[in-house]
A and B are shown apart, each in its own frame.
Chain A
Amino acid sequence: MKIKVYGILKRYVGDRDYIKIDIPEPTTVADLFSKAGIPGKYVFIVEKNGKAITKDITVNNDDEISLIPFISGG
């Protein structure tokens, strides 16, 4: 599974733009955070294949996930 990571979340994955992890069984987004070593409280938006999802949704190994932190902006 490819997990694209933005902003401050990169510091939890070795300052990389994305990581790849293997999940043999479908898992929830919340479980994915602990597998990837990313603190869930810093994640504001989770997207599965470009669509926003909630943290209780199940994801599969062939999904592409994007994790986005809080947006202050402007």
Chain B
Amino acid sequence: MKGVWNKVLKIDLSTKKAEIVPVNDDVYKKYNMGLGIATYFLYKETEGKIDPLGPDNVVVFSPGLFVGTGVPTGSKSAMTFKSPLTGGFGRAMVGAYLGVEMRKSGVDAIIIKGKSDKPVTLKIDNEHVEFIDAEEYRGLDSILTQEKLREKYGKTYRTCAIGQSGENLSKISGIDFEERQAARAGGGAVFGSKNLKAIIMKGDKKIDFANPEKLKELNKKWVNIIKEHPATKADMDYGSGEFYEWMNKERGTFPSRNWQWGYFQSVYDNLKEGEKSHIDPYYWSPKYTVRHHPCPTCTKPCGRIIEVKEGKYAGTKVDGIEYEVLYSLGGVLEIDDVEAVAKMNEICDREGFDAISAGVTIAWAMEAYEKGLLDKDKMEGIELTFGNADAAIEVLKKMAKREGYIGKLLADGTKAAAEKLGKNSDQFAINIKGLELPGYDVRGIKGMALALAVSVRGACHLTAGVYGIELGGSWWKYKGIDRLSSDWKGFEVKAAEDLATTYDIFGLCKFSRHMYFLEGMPELNNAITGNDIIDADVMTIGERVYNLQKMFNIREGIDRKYDTLPYRVTHNPIPKGVSKGAYVSEEELQHMLDEYYMARGWSKDSTPTAIKLASLDLLDVVDESIAAGI
């Protein structure tokens, strides 16, 4: 098949050996690239019930098919692993330049298993692997580590590394790829458990496209479509937080104060009419932006480098601030000082934390502190109250080092912290399956509540990405969606998950999904590979890959019981703002789950049926004995 290498690179850190393994065309036809083959190889190369922080866990990294092909916003690579945070399927997508090098290297994925006896960096030149001692980088932050590696080996290498939180096996740590993060679900700890500090890679081969002229023509067409699209300018000028004010004021679904509120009113209390909240990108982006920081082949970069030049946080320089971080290091901590948010964002990136999970975990601790549940004698004088940015910063640094009472308590996220503390603190621990929730108050967005409840990696907003459909009421084929209704949401979420999965397979950024939709993908795939697929095939591939992710979880015993919502979402209505009174009752959740499993072709306990797996041609991979019966 054109457009791929028909090879993957398997690396064993225990034996320090690497081998090239051929892959036949059928695998690509069924799973394509990116998240597709990364799911396939993770499932194949692992057994159920393995220790996620043991040598048997596997990390698979694969760039999407469109990466390195010139397709605009074809930027994303997939990383899969068993998650130490959820115990289930771990996935993190990232706009990685290292992925572009891999597309030119002669292999379509790397599969890493085992455990090195000491810290190691993988240096990969095309298909050749060297195991380099990484002792000198131990304890260094993720960004500095990569800078030093590029200084030593050359700037043509593209890189990734973990920070201290990953080395210390924090279950909420991720991997930094030149200031873009594969952040969620604890991949940093999996690297750390293998003593894998960094990867550097360089490729110099040329991908053989089936129809290079057609590809060139299509790329030109999409560059123009994206350039003319009404969302492009807003994304470029203000980033992903562009709609923050609307989310907060007009929808009342911006979670704040550890989800005690769905409307962050206090940011407006001291403002005159017309003045902007300081965490609103319309306030801070023009003031602090130094330059755009695009992912590979992005022609509408929402990423930006911002710099704080004066004041107590002077010297802070970070890629951000994304919408999710405005929530997790802003609203949910009741902090509206954007310079403090930037500082915490920088610490998260350098220490290697998932900024969503880290912020939501500190919010949990603030509520516990204010309720008198934490041992104040062991807090080393830190007044961890809502709105106290300096306290949050200090705690974040302690979490990275697992230092002191509070650092040790919080280092593994809200689920582990609430289990350790007890005292009913799980009732305000904002996670699903262990993964902390993103910045959408799903009490007032019921389809999104279902999407978070059923997502295979825990509370992930991009597994289905239905927030736009729900909040806007229409998108693509969807029309007349009522965000406060729990009806028909199962079908809405199922189709959205399958579509979103295809974006992770092709490596298209989901922030261009209102440009490509589904219809843009087949002809790009066909120009690259020479296959002749249609839109229905694309959705089938998405559905197949999603079902295989689900079977990974079923193999781990993660079934309907785990498709749930935080206590706060099902018991505490939003107290003020436009969505006042909204919550998701237990009955509504069960109603939506029943409908979703029916839409999926899964049993009532959420197990894919043998018929469904056969229809998706998955029975050669999965163990049929764990499928639901006929």
Enumerate chain A interface residues (CB-CB to B < 8 A): 4, 6-8, 10, 15-17, 41-42, 44-45, 52, 66, 68-74
Contact = CB atoms under 8 A, between A and B. Distances in A.
A8 B233 contact: yes
A7 B461 contact: no
Given A16-B274, A69-B230, A73-B468, A7 B474 contact: no
Contact of A7 (B245, B467, B510, B514): B245
A49 to B, nearest CB: 13
Contacts of B465: 74
The 10 lowest CB-CB distance pairs between A and B, nearest first, are A70-B231, A8-B234, A6-B246, A42-B230, A52-B473, A71-B468, A72-B511, A45-B472, A72-B235, A71-B243
B302 interface: yes
A74 B234 contact: no
Nearest to A45: B472
A17 B243 contact: no
A70 B514 contact: yes
B268 to A, nearest CB: 11
Which of A8, A10, A16, A41 neighbours the largest number of chain B CB atoms within 10 Å of its CB? Answer: A8
B376 to A, nearest CB: 37
B274 A69 contact: no
A71 B471 CA distance: 9
A6 B243 CA distance: 8
A44 B476 CA distance: 12
B611 interface: no
Interface in B464-510: 465, 467-468, 471-474, 510
A6 B234 CA distance: 11
5 contacts: A6-B246, A45-B472, A68-B246, A73-B240, A74-B323
What is the size category of the interface that chain B forms with chain A?
20 to 34
A7 B323 contact: no
Contacts of A69: 230-231, 234, 242-243
B178 interface: no
B250 interface: yes
A41 B231 CA distance: 10
A72 B273 contact: no
Given A6-B243, A7-B245, A45-B473, A74 B462 contact: yes
A8 B237 contact: yes
A11 B335 CA distance: 27
A44 B514 CA distance: 11
Contacts of B441: none
Contacts of B234: 7-8, 69-70, 72
Contacts of A71: 243, 467-468, 471-472
A6 B230 contact: no
A10 B238 CA distance: 13
A74 B274 contact: no
B262 interface: no
Contacts of A42: 230
Contacts of B231: 69-70, 72
Nearest to A15: B274
B245 A6 contact: yes
Contacts of A17: 273-274
Nearest to B242: A7
B438 interface: yes
A6 B238 CA distance: 13
B245 A74 contact: no
Given A17-B274, A42-B230, A70-B231, 16 more contacts: A6-B243, A6-B246, A7-B234, A8-B238, A10-B282, A44-B230, A68-B250, A69-B230, A69-B243, A71-B243, A72-B302, A73-B242, A73-B468, A74-B240, A74-B462, A74-B510
A43 B240 CA distance: 17
A6 B250 contact: yes
